[in-house]
Amino acid sequence: MVAICVECWEEYNPKRRELGYRTCLECGAANARLEKARKAKCSAPAYNKGAYQYVGSVQAARSVGR
């Protein structure tokens, strides 16, 4: 099983996903910075948008497979 980062679509260590992370180490660090900015500004929907696009692409890939 391969773990794909929801932010940059790069493969990352599956062990990291087992820990509950959906991003590679790099994006995880970037998100940690966003988290700080979110607490200050309260507006950063980029992460949710990335997750939504990832789900949509999986469904598209399945329909193409058939």
32 lies in the site for Zn ion, by CB under 5 A: no
DSSP letters for 23-37:
S-HHHHHHHHHHHHH
Nearest residue (CB) to Zn ion, 26 versus 66: 26
Residue 11 vs 37, nearer CB to Zn ion = 11
Kindly state whether residue 55 participates in binding Zn ion, applying the rule CB under 5 A: no
Shortest spacing between CB 63 and Zn ion, in angstroms: 26
Q: Are 7 and 47 in contact (CB under 8 A)?
A: yes
Nearest-angstrom CA–CA distance, 12 and 16: 7
Write out the residues near Zn ion by the rule CB under 5 A.
5, 7-8, 23-24, 27
